[in-house]
Amino acid sequence: MQVTKTQPLWQNRSYLTLISGQGISALGSFMSDFTFSLLVLALTGSPLQTGVMLVLRTLPYILFCLPAGALADRKDRKLIMIISDAGCALTLGSIPLAYFLGHLTLIHLYLVAFIQGSLFVFFQMAEGAALRNVVAREQLASASSWNEVIYSTCLMLGPLLGGMLYSFSPMFPFILDALSFVASVISLVCIRVPFQEQQATSVNTLWQEMKEGQIWLWKHPILRFLALLTTGLLAPCAGFTLIIIMLAQGMHADSTTTGFILSSGGLGSIIGALLVTPLLKWLGFSRLIILGALYWAVSWLFYCIAPDPLILSILNISGYAIVPIVTVPLYSYRLTVVPDNILGRVNSAYRLLMSGSRPIGIGATSLLLQWVGPILTIVLLAIPQLLVAFLAIFYQPLREARLDNKQ
């Protein structure tokens, strides 16, 4: 049964079930993401080896993003999400099991990072294409904004809870994250609305379908530029958590204080998510993206001036506020202009640029932190962000784009 256009968003049981399950899962993931870095850093004492773990967690985007997008258009998206979350529950659960048995090794953590990252790619490709079939088309921007509010709340609470739990036992966050994936699986099973439109039988190979998504994206000038813009903004920030940990350690902050600093970004993200809709109405799509990109790049430099954990937290609120203000309209634009039967493949081609560059960003961040320290690392990583932000000002098709214009 398809959702009618007149159904209020907060009376849509399928949407509420979906965001509830994903919210619980996101909270667990933010707890373990933060403590994953703390655990590897504690075992090795090396930012570089911690960066290797982060690279392994994001490398699957390069390897599996395109086939995952094609699979999301070919197969049952809900089933893909269920299998992916179940796999994440099992792999994360293996960490505390190995720890309590006395067999936890760095290689084990690296394997879990890679496997979980791979499963997350398949989940995200299916989820990104599913939302349009859970809510009405005119509710996409609003639903995306509320998704971001919930996601940001988890971003705020996850590191804080993770740091507190880690101080009691390094394994508590991983146990809770494994259970959160179980909750996500249960919520997905309870949703009855199909996650995709009726599909025609495809006679193309998986490789041919992957190419179709790339070609469609490349031929759409605005989406093509937005993919490059997003990549230029996000890739230099890929090692952000490691930078914050290094800055906090330089201020002699403990794990709880470091978790508080990271969780402050969630508050900023909530503020930004709540501002998306009024800012879109006030500025319009193109001006919001251009001004948002400029602020994103400039605010990155603010981290250099933080003298203590409190100021660093305040600057983190400011820096994170701009993220949903830029990313939510970009996501809504993709959902609006791309046909459903190719949405998974176009999303995967888009995300291959955006997230496939994360291993490069994390690797560069790890090396820079090892060689020149966090302050100069921040300055050097600001250069590509400033470059793409200024390019956005002069790209004429973007200046003429509208969120409701199917170009």
pLDDT band for position 114 (50/70/90)? very high
pLDDT at 165: 84
Tell me the mean pLDDT in the region 119-132: 82
Query: What sign does the CA torsion over 302, 307, 312, 313 have?
Result: negative
CATH dotted code for 13-194+205-400 = 1.20.1250.20
Residue-wise pLDDT tens digits, 345-376: 888 888 777 776 777 888 888 889 888 889 99
Up-side HSE of residue 222: CA atoms within 13 Å toward CB?
A: 22
Res 201 pLDDT > 70: no
**Percent above pLDDT 70 for the chain:** 94
pLDDT of residue 289: 95
Check residue 387 and give its pLDDT: 95
Check pLDDT > 70 for residue 3.
no
Q: Which residue has the higher pLDDT, 81 or 341?
A: 81
Q: Where are the domains of the chain?
A: 13-194+205-400
* Nearest-angstrom CA–CA distance, 140 and 92: 32
Q: Between residues 225 and 210, which one has the greater pLDDT? A: 225
Which of 40-44, 150-154, 293-297, 301-305 has the largest mean confidence?
293-297
Count, in order, helices (H) and strands (E) of the chain: 17, 0
- Per DSSP, the three-state class of 76 is coil
For residue 303 the two structure tokens come to: 């981290």
Half-sphere exposure of 145 (CA within 13 A, CB side): 18
pLDDT of residue 200: 47
Tokens found for residue 349: 């081609």
Q: What is the pLDDT of residues 270-288, one digit of tens each?
A: 899 889 889 988 999 999 9
Report the residue count for the chain: 407
Q: What is the spatial distance between Cα 195 and Cα 131, in angstroms, rounded to a whole number?
A: 7
Q: Give residue 167's pLDDT.
A: 81
CA distances from 92 to 167, 181, 182 (A): 19, 9, 11
Q: Is residue 141 within 8 Å of residue 332, measured between CB atoms?
A: yes
7-37: b or e for each residue (b if 16 or more CB lie within 10 Å)? eeeeebebbebbbebbbbbbbbbbbbbbbbb
Confidence (pLDDT) at 139: 74
pLDDT band (50, 70, 90) for residue 1? very low
Eight-state DSSP code of residue 102: T
Q: Mean of the pLDDT values across residues 328-348?
A: 84
Sorting pLDDT into bands at 50, 70 and 90, what band is 16? confident
- Mean pLDDT, residues 329-355 taken together: 82
Residue 388 has pLDDT above 80, yes or no: yes
- In tens, the pLDDT along 33-76 reads 778 878 888 888 777 787 788 778 878 877 888 888 888 888 88
| Three-state DSSP class for residue 307 | coil
Model confidence at 204, in pLDDT bands (50, 70, 90)?
low
Which helix (H) or strand (E) element contains residue 294?
helix 285-300
pLDDT band at 88 (very low <50, low <70, confident <90, very high): very high
Q: Which helix (H) or strand (E) holds 385?
A: helix 374-394
405 φψ region: left (φ > 0), alpha (ψ -120 to 50), beta (else): beta
Question: What number of CA atoms fall less than 13 Å from residue 198's CA on the CB side?
Answer: 2
pLDDT confidence tier of residue 96, bands split at 50, 70 and 90? very high
Q: Which of the pair, 260 or 109, is modelled with greater confidence?
A: 109
Angle at 344 between CA 340 and CA 345, to 5 degrees: 110
User: CA–CA distance from 55 to each of 16, 60, 110, 292, 365 (Å)?
Assistant: 33, 9, 10, 27, 11
Between 35 and 78, whose confidence is greater? 78
Q: Which of 281, 296, 229 is nearest to 402 (CA)?
A: 281
The pLDDT of residue 4 is 45
pLDDT score recorded for residue 406? 45
Residues 6+ apart with CB under 8 A from 169: none
In the block, tokens 């179709």 appear at 212
Cα-only R_g, the chain: 20
| 3-state SS class at 50 | helix
Strand boundaries in 39-134, DSSP class E:
none
Q: Phi/psi at 254 (nearest 5 deg)?
A: -85, 180
For residue 2, is pLDDT > 70? no
pLDDT at position 383 = 95
